[in-house]
């Protein structure tokens, strides 16, 4: 539950979780377990899980290794079910933009997992306006992702040529 814990009982705080729809929510290449995964059992725990019609676990996909998982923690499944947290989707492409934004503006290289949250925070900030405050959890170091991001951005440049 991590970063949500201090705020769960404070209803004045809106809580958002960001999922990774990878290459797109309507493709088989995503890790959007809350959006696309019905409740199921994975590792002995009831949670939202990517599964086929027979309950077999499907492969998840995300540019972020930490989000590339076919399940979601049971607390997140619960928060979604009762409406305590809102879960949104940020694609790999949007996450790369989040990575670039924080790196360029603050000199902080975020992990790709956190880059999804950054990308959504930029969108949400435009909706909330300047009089609202927001906290974004940066959960890891992005130096481990720099080579992968470089390769992805170079591949995108080639496609645009």
Q: Does residue 111 belong to any structural domain of this protein?
A: yes
pLDDT digits (tens, 9 = 90+) for 82-129: 999 999 999 999 999 999 999 999 999 999 999 999 999 999 999 999
pTM of the model: 0.89
Domain total of the chain:
1
Q: Does residue 101 belong to any structural domain of this protein?
A: yes
Q: Does residue 79 belong to any structural domain of this protein?
A: yes
pLDDT digits (tens, 9 = 90+) for 30-46: 999 999 999 999 999 99
CB 140 within 8 A of CB 108: no
Q: Does residue 47 belong to any structural domain of this protein?
A: yes
How many CB atoms sit inside 10 A of residue 94's CB?
20
């Amino acid at each position: 539950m991590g970063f949500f814990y201090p705020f769960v009982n404070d209803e004045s705080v809106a809580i958002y979780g960001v999922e990774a729809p990878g290459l797109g929510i309507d493709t088989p290449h995503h890790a959007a377990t809350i959006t696309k995964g019905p409740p199921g059992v994975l590792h002995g725990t009831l949670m939202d899980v990517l599964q086929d019609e027979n309950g077999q676990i499907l492969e998840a996909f995300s540019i972020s290794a930490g989000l590339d998982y076919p399940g979601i923690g049971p607390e997140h499944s619960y928060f979604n079910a009762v409406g305590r947290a809102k879960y949104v989707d940020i694609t790999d492409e949007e996450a790369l933009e989040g990575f670039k934004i924080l790196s360029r503006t603050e000199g902080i290289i975020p992990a790709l997992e956190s880059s999804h949250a950054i990308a959504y925070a930029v969108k949400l900030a435009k909706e909330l306006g300047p009089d609202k405050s927001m906290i974004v959890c940066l959960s890891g170091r992005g130096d481990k992702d720099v080579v992968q991001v470089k390769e992805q951005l170079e591949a995108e440049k080639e496609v645009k040529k």
